[in-house]
Amino acid sequence: MITAHLTQSYDEFPYYSRAFPESHPAHLATIGQLFGMSPARVSECRVLELGCASGGNLIPMAVAFPHSQFLGIDISSEQVKQGKAQIQQLQLTNIALVADNLATIDESWGQFDYMIAHGVYSWVPETIREQILRLCRNHLTEQGIAYISYNTYPGWHLREMVRDLLLYATADETAPQQRVDTAKTIARQFASICDSQQIEQHLFQQELNRLQTQPDSHLFHEYLEAVNTPFYFHDFINQAQHYHLQYLADALFSRMFESDLSPQAQQMLQQLAPDLITAEQYKDFFRNQKFRQTLLCHEDVKLERYLKAEVVEPLMVASSAQPTRDRVNVYDGTEVAFQTSKGAVLRSSNPVTKLALSYLGQCYPEMMSFAQLWHQVQQDLGITEGRKQLATDLLRGFSVDLVTLSCEKAGCQKQVSNYPMAWSIARQQAQFQSEVVNPHHQMVSVSPYARQLLPYLDGRRDRANLAQQFQLSATTVEQTLAELAQLGVLVS
């Protein structure tokens, strides 16, 4: 009965389907390798997404890896229909979307190297949650990795209060858009009368105000759906262990480290946490965690929990970080801070690390192999020592979200060619939305001019042709192409 309700709900009010970088097989494989696994090569693998919606997360993967196979399943036939139309337009032959219940998956579906369940586990009945874990146990290959996201306590206790309020306020309404509009009005009214001087009401007010910036589909399916069950992390892991699955890592790698916690919290954590799972649970309490993206693998897989610097050496590297001051002497021993636009910071006085991060920042969004990066640093500094230190610092950068490590190279091109070409799926998306996906599997917002040009950047038009076709100045075209290159949307 609940499943039938959910099917109707997503058919009538489809969820905004988009790419989620932390769920990408290349990211899962990279983390698996860091912890000693031997996951399948992403360029030749099988991927299953449970609750794929219209394929916003899965289709870009199929575009990037034509020799891999991608399969998605969703209960909403309307969402699957939308995804199939996009697949047909892109002429993809390595992906299929199925409109059906997860309970229909059987042995005939075969084994998968990577399984993804984003935005499903907390939002389905208990029987389906058990089915998700059962599918991971039965359909993951020996070195397979599963990604499962879910709402978590303690952070969701406050959001549960907001959800209860909105469910009560919209109980007599049935039309989805009307319920969303009413919920936003109620949230705005309640927020306006909260006493911001009282900490409890101030936090409640913040949550209510946050809803005004959320897409309607997110508000509807997150706060007004029939099912939304948060979990404590340790309870989720206990459920996974029942199906012979073990905790591999958090997909947001930085969350496994304590650099964002106070020294007092870090000291308390060492005293309270005798093992990894306990430590992760206490960190959720410290951070008031609301959402988790957990990676699982089979319980008999031997994991190497002590991270070694040499695991970085076979990987590709990227970083958008820039030095926080204009004049930087990378060759002396002064400390330099490198920072991303999202606020991630790494400080170093090591000439090798400073020079490497400078190179990465200059060539971003393109990626470099570790070997290529080390060779360039080595040549410029005229040194033979420092390779291990560089690997260590890049791993440290990955642990604070400043560096991207990947077992696969994202096909971005920073240099704008004479006949610019944008990624095919970004060209398609720009026709109906202002947010497009790049080969890093990131959703990026593009300006009106960029959105106008994107569908026509197919490698057959030069700058003069683009300027003439859209009656734009040469300067505007050049600036727009530079914007798209920086966003990682242009390819060779």
- Distance separating alpha carbons of residues 431 and 435, to the nearest angstrom: 10
**Phi, psi values for residue 447, rounded to 5°:** -70, 165
What gap in Å lies between CA 79 and CA 213, rounded to an integer?
A: 23
**pLDDT the model gives residue 1:** 65
**So what's the pLDDT on residue 81?**
96
Q: Are 431 and 446 members of one domain?
A: yes
Distance CA 151, CA 251 (A): 14
Domain boundary among 349, 377, 406: 406
Whether 144 and 286 share a structural domain: yes
- Asked whether residue 414 is domain-assigned, the answer is no
Identify whether residues 133 and 175 lie together within a single domain.
no
Give a yes or no: residue 432 inside a domain. yes
Same domain membership, residue 477 and residue 458: yes
**Rounded Cα distance, 20 and 38, in Å:** 23
Query: Do 57 and 166 belong together in one domain?
Result: no
* Distance linking the first and last C-alpha atoms of the chain: 50
Report residue 56 as tokens.
């916003």
pLDDT at 4: 76
Domain check: are 274 and 354 in the same one? Answer: no
| Dist. CA 387–CA 274, nearest whole Å | 34
User: Is 304 exposed, middle or buried (CB count within 10 Å of its CB: 0-12, 13-18, 19+)?
Assistant: exposed
H/E stretch holding 294 reads: strand 291-298
150 close to 291: Cβ distance less than 8 angstroms: yes
Domain that holds residue 390: 309-406
CA distances from 247 to 3, 39, 234, 251 (A): 28, 15, 10, 11
The b-or-e profile of 386-421 (16+ CB within 10 A means b, else e) is bbeebbbbbbbbbbbbbbbbbbbbbbbbeebeeebb
CA–CA separation, 82 and 18 (whole Å): 13
My answer on whether 149 and 171 are in the same domain is no
Look at residue 412 and tell me if it is in a domain: no
- Specify whether 384 is located in the same domain as 472: no
| Helix and strand element counts for the chain (H, E) | 19, 15
**163 lies in the same domain as 145:** no
Residue 130 to residues 68, 120, 236, 250, 443: CA-CA distances in angstroms? Answer: 28, 12, 11, 20, 31
Q: What's the total number of domains in the chain?
A: 4
Do 267 and 324 have their domain in common? no
Among 278, 298, 318, which residue terminates a domain?
Answer: 298
Domain boundary among 223, 250, 281: 223
Please indicate, yes or no, if residue 303 is contained in any of the structural domains.
no
Per-residue pLDDT tens listing for the chain (492 residues): 667 777 777 878 887 889 999 999 999 999 999 999 999 999 999 999 999 999 999 999 999 999 999 999 999 999 999 999 999 999 999 999 999 999 999 999 999 999 999 999 999 999 999 999 999 999 999 999 999 999 999 999 999 999 999 999 999 988 999 999 999 999 999 999 988 778 788 888 998 999 999 889 889 999 998 899 999 999 999 999 999 999 999 999 999 999 899 999 999 999 999 999 999 999 999 999 999 999 999 999 999 999 999 999 999 999 999 999 877 788 888 899 999 999 999 999 999 999 999 999 999 999 999 999 999 999 999 998 999 999 999 999 999 999 999 999 999 999 999 999 999 999 999 999 999 999 999 999 999 999 999 999 999 999 999 999 999 999 999 999 999 999 999 998
Residue 492 lies in a domain: no
In-domain check, residue 183: yes
Q: What value, to the nearest 5°, has the Cα angle with vertex 61 and ends 148 and 440?
A: 90
CATH code: domain of residue 141: 3.40.50.150
Q: Are residues 103 and 170 in the same domain?
A: no
Same domain as 237, residue 92 = yes
The 8-class DSSP code of residue 437 comes to: E
170 assigned to some structural domain? yes
CATH number at residue 374: 3.90.930
Position 133 in a domain: yes
